[in-house]
């Protein structure tokens, strides 16, 4: 039985991770640009799902869909895909493929069909699976997030408890190539509970890496309250990157509290100042157009963006109500004309990237960087 992987730009690291997990059990995922026999697998986010829904429904082969959108909306996706992998796929996908080949799929925990779904009862232990094999990917060092930001799918898919790959396993794969890059919901939370940093463990990790290290950059950003003299010293001493990427998300404390972000606007601005003073360029995420954002809230965000732009760079995008999140089903509010003008001016001046109007830029341009 041939198993194919539908090439989707935003799912390249998922291909590396799941390709490695399948390879360990004897399955090779062949990259394809259209569905092919016998089985074709898809990883879908909430933007790409619109592009591939009809293709999957009309495919002349067995189709398997997973990813954040499929996890949040498994009933919807199961209406046009044969099987839906809900949540983590390292264990579930190879087990499903074995069932398909044997013609006896049955009820596999973590796999949804039109007939229903039984959830898994455990989480993936990262050390049990390689981060990549023949398809190079970033090394995922941590999974899960203790925070519950209203717009974010991460805790919905991976849980609120943080899990970490061991230093020996991270080193084993990171040192295979000339650069070490990582995936994490918060790189500065490595080795910790996600709330109280363990910089000693991060230093132990960085000391064991032998090539160029990029730590705290996309797709392994950090949180602003974890940026301090100690964490910045680790970056300047051990790492190659001269930028640090973190999320402020709003300049309004009222919005941040309602989102359950766990930090203030002042902390985010202070983090940018600390980076600048340490000779590191802060690259700071902001979201505009939250459904409960007042004009005053939006102006506070614009003011914070302007303040941060004096110290570094801004990455901005329009709010998207992602399924499976507390804000699913809401609608983005309109932007003030002054907000659009400031974003445009900062972009023209080379201080801002992203898009405050086009949702797809968030998922398709940035993932290719």
pLDDT digits (tens, 9 = 90+) for 24-67: 999 999 999 999 999 999 999 999 999 999 999 999 999 999 99
Q: According to the model, what pLDDT value does residue 106 have? A: 86
Residue 73 has pLDDT above 90, yes or no: yes
Chain-wide mean pLDDT for the chain? 94
How do residues 76-97 score in pLDDT, each as one tens digit?
999 999 999 999 999 999 999 9
Please list the residue range(s) of the chain that carry CATH number 3.80.30.20.
Answer: 138-368
Q: According to the model, what pLDDT value does residue 84 have? A: 98
For residue 362, name the pLDDT band (cuts at 50, 70, 90): very low
How do residues 295-354 score in pLDDT, each as one tens digit?
999 999 999 999 999 999 999 999 999 999 999 999 999 999 999 999 999 999 999 999
In whole angstroms, what is the distance from residue 22 CA to residue 90 CA? 7
How do residues 213-261 score in pLDDT, each as one tens digit?
999 999 999 999 999 999 999 999 999 999 999 999 999 999 999 999 9
Mean pLDDT value of segment 275-285 = 98
When computed from its CA atoms, the radius of gyration of the chain, rounded to whole angstroms, is 21
Mean pLDDT value of segment 14-23 = 96
In whole angstroms, what is the distance from residue 85 CA to residue 68 CA? 10
The predicted model scores a pTM of 0.92
Q: According to the model, what pLDDT value does residue 358 have? A: 64
Pairing of strands 142-143, 139-140: unpaired
Pairing of strands 179-183, 3-6: unpaired
Cβ–Cβ < 8 Å for 255, 232? no
Q: According to the model, what pLDDT value does residue 245 have? A: 98
In whole angstroms, what is the distance from residue 208 CA to residue 118 CA? 41
Alpha helices in the chain (DSSP H): 12-23, 48-57, 68-72, 74-78, 92-102, 154-158, 167-174, 199-208, 229-238, 253-259, 265-277, 295-309, 337-348, 359-364
For residue 205, name the pLDDT band (cuts at 50, 70, 90): very high
Cβ–Cβ < 8 Å for 104, 80? no
Residue 360 has pLDDT above 60, yes or no: no
Q: Does domain 3-117 have CATH number 3.40.50?
A: yes
- Which residue, 309, 301, 302, 264, is CA-closest to 282? 309
Q: According to the model, what pLDDT value does residue 36 have? A: 97
Mapped to the 3 state alphabet, what secondary structure does 80-122 carry?
A: CCCEEECCCCCCHHHHHHHHHHHCCCCCCCCEEECCEECCCCC
In whole angstroms, what is the distance from residue 228 CA to residue 220 CA? 17
338 Cβ contact partners less than 8 Å away, ≥ 6 residues apart: 299, 302
Pairing of strands 212-214, 179-183: parallel
How do residues 98-134 score in pLDDT, each as one tens digit?
999 999 988 899 999 999 999 998 899 999 999 999 8
In whole angstroms, what is the distance from residue 29 CA to residue 18 CA? 9
What homologous superfamily does CATH list for 138-368? tm_1862 like domain (3.80.30.20)
12 Cβ contact partners less than 8 Å away, ≥ 6 residues apart: 137, 367
Mean pLDDT value of segment 175-193 = 95
Measured CA distances, 119 to 70, 161, 201 (Å): 14, 18, 33
Q: According to the model, what pLDDT value does residue 135 have? A: 87
H/E element, 180: strand 179-183
Residue 366 has pLDDT above 70, yes or no: no
């Amino acid at each position: 039985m041939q198993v194919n992987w539908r090439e989707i730009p935003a799912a390249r690291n998922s291909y590396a991770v799941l390709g490695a997990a399948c390879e360990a059990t004897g399955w090779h995922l062949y990259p394809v640009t259209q569905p092919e026999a016998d089985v074709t697998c898809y990883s879908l986010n909430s933007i790409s799902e619109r592009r591939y829904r009809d293709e999957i429904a009309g495919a002349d082969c067995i189709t398997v869909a997973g990813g954040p959108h499929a996890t949040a909306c498994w009933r919807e996706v199961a209406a046009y895909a044969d099987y839906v992998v809900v949540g983590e796929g390292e264990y579930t996908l190879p087990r499903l493929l074995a069932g398909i080949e044997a013609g006896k799929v049955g009820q596999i925990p973590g796999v949804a069909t039109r007939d229903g779904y039984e959830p898994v009862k455990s989480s993936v232990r990262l050390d049990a699976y390689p981060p990549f094999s023949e398809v190079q990917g970033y090394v995922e060092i941590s999974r899960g997030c203790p925070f519950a930001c209203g717009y974010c799918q991460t805790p919905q898919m991976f849980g609120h408890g943080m899990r970490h790959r061991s230093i020996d396993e991270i080193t084993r794969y990171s040192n295979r190539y000339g650069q070490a890059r990582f995936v994490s919901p918060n790189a500065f939370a490595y080795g910790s509970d996600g709330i109280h940093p363990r910089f000693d463990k991060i230093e132990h990790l960085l000391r064991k890496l032998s090539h160029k290290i990029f730590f705290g950059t996309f797709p392994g950003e950090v949180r602003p309250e974890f940026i301090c003299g100690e964490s910045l010293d680790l970056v300047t001493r051990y790492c190659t990157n001269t930028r640090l990427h973190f999320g402020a998300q709003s300049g309004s404390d009222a919005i941040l509290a309602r989102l359950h972000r766990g930090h203030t606007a002042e902390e985010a601005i202070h983090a940018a100042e600390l980076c600048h003073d340490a000779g590191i360029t802060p690259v700071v995420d902001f979201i505009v157009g939250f459904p409960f954002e007042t004009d005053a809230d939006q102006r506070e965000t614009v003011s914070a963006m302007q303040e941060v732009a004096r110290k570094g760079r801004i990455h901005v995008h329009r709010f998207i109500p992602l399924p499976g999140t507390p804000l699913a089903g809401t609608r983005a509010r309109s932007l003030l004309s002054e907000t659009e003008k400031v974003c445009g001016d900062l972009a023209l001046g080379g201080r801002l990237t992203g898009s405050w109007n086009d949702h797809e830029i968030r998922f398709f341009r940035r993932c290719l960087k």
